[in-house]
Structure 1
Amino acid sequence: MAPHAERPSMQDVVLDEDDAGTPAPAPDLRATGAALVGWGRGHVLRALAATTVLVALVLTVLVGLPRWSLAHERRVLTAPTELPGAIRPLEGPPAVAWTTRGPWSPRAVLAGDTVVVYASDVEDGAAAGLDLVTGAVRWRATLPGGPLGTLRRCLAVDPAPAEAAAVVCLTEPDRSAVRTEPVAGPVVVLDAVDGRVLDQRDARGTVAGAVVVGRDLVLPLADESGVVVERADARTGAPVWRTQVLDPPVTVPPQRVVLREADGALLVATGGTSLVLAEATGRAVQVVDRGNRPRDHVGLLHDGSVLVGAYGTAGSALMIRTTVYEPDGRERFTTRGTLSEPRVSDRPEERLYAWSSLPGSPFGGRVRAVSRLTGEEQWQSPGPSAGVLLELDGVAVLHGAGFEVGVDVDDGEQLWRRQVTLTSSDQPFTDGSHVIVARVEPGRGTVLEALGVRDGRTAWEVLLTPGVTRVEQLGTHLVGIGPRLVVALR
């Protein structure tokens, strides 16, 4: 008979009849701490290294993160917008990014990521460079004074690849002054980052205006030697070219000299003779003599095309007709009215806008859209308007008689109409989606209001800082300005 296999011994098992968890023993903190201390004593170098790494990591986060955030914001704020002439997109009412106290009559110019605030009054030489992002003062300087009847103006100069941005400050005629002292004013060039004086010189005549072309400064000079236009390196004053516009003994007060710049062309108007100069060489491309027709006018489009308007009669009605010339002087077309183009447009190559307020004309007070290439009329505004402001998203925004009107850009059909009064800026601003208007309300202050381009409805409205009397555009940003006050809006 086979032997029986050995049976396993029986074991007592505790049953958990109420399904209650067995509590785990509490950790012995003293033992754990003692173990760590013991490990640290035995591994001093490892403990110090771990502590150093942990502290370095914390410092990197605390110091590096704000720096990275600031650098990122700086890149965003200094990047160009997709729509030339527009400000950065605003999803809601802008807030005050920073505020600074300035001179009594402040002006501002943006050079790189520095906002240069200076006094327009030549008797006040105060100037300061502020960080665009934070508003921190980078430098302060005192600018030299200027001749009687002039105002100070500063312009940003494009830098070379290895250079910082620069600002050139000079004096130009106060157009409202009774007279301007016919002396050469100072030209000062400052490094926009640290405020160092890069160059200081006297202009080679009485400055009648100024424009910056790349790294060069173009000045019309009007005095006893006639009228001369010169282009020179803004930083050093080294001449590029010099063109005589009027020969002596013919002289013109500096207040009557006007300088305009467009794509590759310069317009110099002296009250009698107007010249269009090639920007690169200073060569006269077109000469318009208005000596016997002082009311005729000459203008310049953004693409360098020249506008010449001449008054005449049609039957018993007074009429103005404008001729458009190519930049090289060839005539393109002639149409009735005064021609203009929108300050900001997403379709700038398609049309121009004509307008006339002369009595007796059946089209007086209405805007006409005409082809930029042929002058053929495309449509007329549904009501009285004085010109075009913006052209965005298929809508042309017209203005006049205290109203802004949105019309379909293809057929002129009215889409919306809004009353806008007491504006504190010459033209509204846009971020590509809104028409942004600054207006002054008595007893309340300056208000910034955004209207939808497509429907004209108020998207948002904000009351600006007390003391702000006007709003200006610096690059792609808005700033509020008042006596001794500059406010960055973002």
Structure 2
Amino acid sequence: MTRRQGRRDRDHVVLEFDTVEPDDAHPPAAAPAEESRVAARAGRRRVRWWLAGLVVVGVVGAMAAADRWHERSVEDRLADSEGGVTSLGPAPSVLWTTDGVGDVAMQRWDETTLLVGTEVVAIDPGTGEERWTARLGKEPACGSPTTVDGSWTRTLTCVSTVDGDATATVLDDRGRTLGERTFEDVAGVAAVAGDGVVAEIRRVDGPGSITVPRVSVDGATRGLATVRAVEVTIRDVRAGEALAVTRVDPTPQDQACPGETTAAPGVEDDGRVLVLADCGLDAYLSPTGVRLDDPEVPGDSVVALGDGTSQRRASAGSWGAVVDADGAEVWRPEGEVLRPVASDGASRDVVLVREPSGVVKAFDGSHRELWSRTVSGATLLVQASGTVVMSGPTSIVALDLDDGDEVWRLPMRADTFVAGGLTDGEHAIVRTATSNGGPPTNGRLAALRLESGSADWTVPIEGDAVLTAVDGAVLLLVDGALERLG
């Protein structure tokens, strides 16, 4: 591991004021009383000059402090935003590399990078130094340490499963074990968003069971299988308390399946959506156990929007209502709510919706339409500094967030695709690669100016590298090594 650190000293402005004193070589004759009055006036004059200098220095100091506060607040907002970066220079290079990290999943925990493989390793994104390591058993899966609305928790919950038994472990931000619980004979256990909670899934007997056609190993349909309901318990790992219990009845279906299987849960969007998709099961729940999809609409799904709300989607691909964490309808847009890949966090009240016709509409915080524009096949890459940058099959286009007017457009080659984006508030840092049916190649990062689209710099990266932003730092996971660009 190599480390390179840089430091930029802040400029200090010192203002000096000189007062012109009377000519002491030829003082005017004065009576003692007059001399005292002259001395008093000179003293008051010096005080006034001194106070004036102090006021000017104070104003300049206050302005400098305000500038530093504004800069710090912008950096904090970027570091907290999805895809926000603060540490890229004019020609980014690798600042440090940690080799031998193996086959791991990379995720963020506030100001820490987590590498989850056969063990959980916490890395300082600024230096690459290891903060702590936790050994939790075979291939743990860790939930995102966030609440439903996306704020960070101070605990991390990980689940390891061996031979049908699951063990959930709660760690603090130093890697110390705060609690542990084993679940036997369960259909599945998943760490969901929250402070030390898991979703415990068990098959239950009773009313609600259905029969479905059974398909055998050779693919032939043979007889019927009984599919039982599922009980989902949101449980506090340390206290053992059941916080919520939700029953999910099977969904009638014509398609054959192997019969009752594990009902192992899936987790989407950092644990904010719990997915039950199995033989005869189709349900989407919040981390508190609330049903988010519509039980009366078979095959529908739910997509989390990152702010504690989710949007329903029908099996045919049409989009429905936006619901909160309690499943209550918030509003009903006529299309898909676009979630930016990267944002500076300054314009979260403006929401973009893509309608089936290809029209993109902007709405304010009260869901009033601001503007509309046709954008072909648009993915919302960056929303920052009053600009939105979207990618389509043939070009990257920037629109003014206030009125939807096109700011600039860059064409792309037919074999090039956009694979992600970051932002420092001044640039859309776009990741592109090429593919001819095989693995992505010719990967690169390009910093495109938000106001013009001109590239300030371009750096090559591996086509299959995992790229993320953690606490404002840009990290790459590639070929068993973790790198930081800066």
Question: What is the TM-score when the length of structure 2 is the normalising length?
Answer: 0.61
Map 1:315-354 to 2 at 5 A: 320=318, 322-325=320-323, 331=329, 333-343=331-341, 344=343, 345-354=345-354
Give 1:431 shift.
Answer: 1.7
> Contact 1:440–1:469 at 8 Å: present in 2 too?
no
State how many pairs are aligned. Answer: 369
Give 1:408 shift.
Answer: 1.7
Identify the match of residue 107 of structure 2 among 97, 106, 109.
109
Identify the match of residue 245 of structure 1 among 247, 251, 273.
247
Report what 1:462 is aligned to: 459
Distance 1:320 1:370, change over 3 A: farther
Aligned-partner Cα distance in 1 for 2:230–2:77: 37
1:333-385 residue CA offsets vs partner (Å, 9 max, x unmatched): 544333333343522223331233xxxxxx2x44333455346472123x413
Give 1:453 shift.
Answer: 1.7
SS at match of 2:468: strand
SS at match of 2:420: coil
SS at match of 1:289: coil
Report what 2:481 is aligned to: 485
- Higher RCO by CA contacts (8 Å cutoff, separation 6 or greater): 2
Give 1:458 shift.
Answer: 0.9
Task: Give, as a single letter, the amino acid of the residue that structure 2 aligns with 1:170.
Answer: V
> Contact 1:210–1:259 at 8 Å: present in 2 too?
no
1:229-260 residue CA offsets vs partner (Å, 9 max, x unmatched): 444446x3633503223158996754674555
1:182-209 residue CA offsets vs partner (Å, 9 max, x unmatched): 823333444553x555444334634464
Task: Give, as a single letter, the amino acid of the residue that structure 2 aligns with 1:417.
Answer: R
Structure 1 runs not aligned, ≥5 long:
1-74, 120-124, 147-151, 173-180, 313-318, 357-362
Report what 1:44 is aligned to: none
Map 1:127-146 to 2 at 5 A: 127-140=120-133, 142-145=135-138
Tell me, yes or no, if structure 1 residue 96 matches structure 2 residue 89: no
Tell me, yes or no, if structure 1 residue 449 matches structure 2 residue 446: yes
> Contact 2:418–2:433 at 8 Å: present in 1 too?
no
Aligned-partner Cα distance in 2 for 1:371–1:113: 31
Higher Cα Rg: structure 1 or 2?
1
Identify the match of residue 378 of structure 1 among 371, 384, 389.
371
Tell me the C-alpha RMSD between the 2 structures.
Answer: 4.3
Aligned-partner Cα distance in 2 for 1:305–1:227: 24
Aligned-partner Cα distance in 1 for 2:167–2:377: 43
SS at match of 1:427: strand
Aligned-partner Cα distance in 1 for 2:202–2:163: 8
Aligned-partner Cα distance in 1 for 2:246–2:371: 41
Give 1:82 shift.
Answer: 6.7
Tell me, yes or no, if structure 1 residue 418 matches structure 2 residue 418: no
Aligned-partner Cα distance in 2 for 1:261–1:126: 19
> Contact 1:219–1:230 at 8 Å: present in 2 too?
yes
1:260-313 residue CA offsets vs partner (Å, 9 max, x unmatched): 579xx8665657654655x6xx4747661155x42x33334344344334478x
Tell me, yes or no, if structure 1 residue 153 matches structure 2 residue 150: no
Tell me, yes or no, if structure 1 residue 427 matches structure 2 residue 424: no
Aligned-partner Cα distance in 2 for 1:475–1:101: 21
Identify the match of residue 307 of structure 1 among 301, 311, 323.
311
Map 1:15-414 to 2 at 5 A: 81=78, 84-85=81-82, 86-111=84-109, 114-119=112-117, 125-140=118-133, 142-145=135-138, 152-155=140-143, 157=145, 166-171=155-160, 183-190=164-171, 192-193=173-174, 195-203=175-183, 205-207=186-188, 209-213=190-194, 215-219=195-199, 221=201, 223=203, 226-233=229-236, 236=238, 238-239=240-241, 241-247=243-249, 254=263, 257-259=266-268, 270=277, 274=283, 277=286, 282=288, 284=290, 288-290=294-296, 293-294=298-299, 296-310=300-314, 320=318, 322-325=320-323, 331=329, 333-343=331-341, 344=343, 345-356=345-356, 363=357, 365-370=358-363, 373-374=366-367, 376=369, 378-381=371-374, 383-414=375-406
Give 1:99 shift.
Answer: 0.9
Distance 1:368 1:209, change over 3 A: farther
Map 1:1-16 to 2 at 5 A: none
Task: Give, as a single letter, the amino acid of the residue that structure 1 aligns with 2:366.
Answer: L
> Contact 1:403–1:419 at 8 Å: present in 2 too?
yes
Aligned-partner Cα distance in 2 for 1:268–1:444: 33
Task: Give, as a single letter, the amino acid of the residue that structure 1 aligns with 2:164.
Answer: V
**Identity percentage over the alignment?**
22
Report what 2:10 is aligned to: none
Aligned-partner Cα distance in 1 for 2:430–2:81: 18
Aligned-partner Cα distance in 2 for 1:311–1:247: 19
1:430-476 residue CA offsets vs partner (Å, 9 max, x unmatched): 12221112334689754222111222221211234x79723123343
Aligned-partner Cα distance in 2 for 1:256–1:449: 38
Distance 1:331 1:158, change over 3 A: closer
Report what 1:34 is aligned to: none
Aligned-partner Cα distance in 2 for 1:220–1:475: 32
Distance 1:261 1:237, change over 3 A: farther
SS at match of 1:428: strand
Task: Give, as a single letter, the amino acid of the residue that structure 1 aligns with 2:426.
Answer: S
Aligned-partner Cα distance in 2 for 1:463–1:113: 26
> Contact 2:251–2:282 at 8 Å: present in 1 too?
no
Distance 1:255 1:454, change over 3 A: farther
Aligned-partner Cα distance in 2 for 1:127–1:87: 24
Aligned-partner Cα distance in 2 for 1:107–1:321: 31
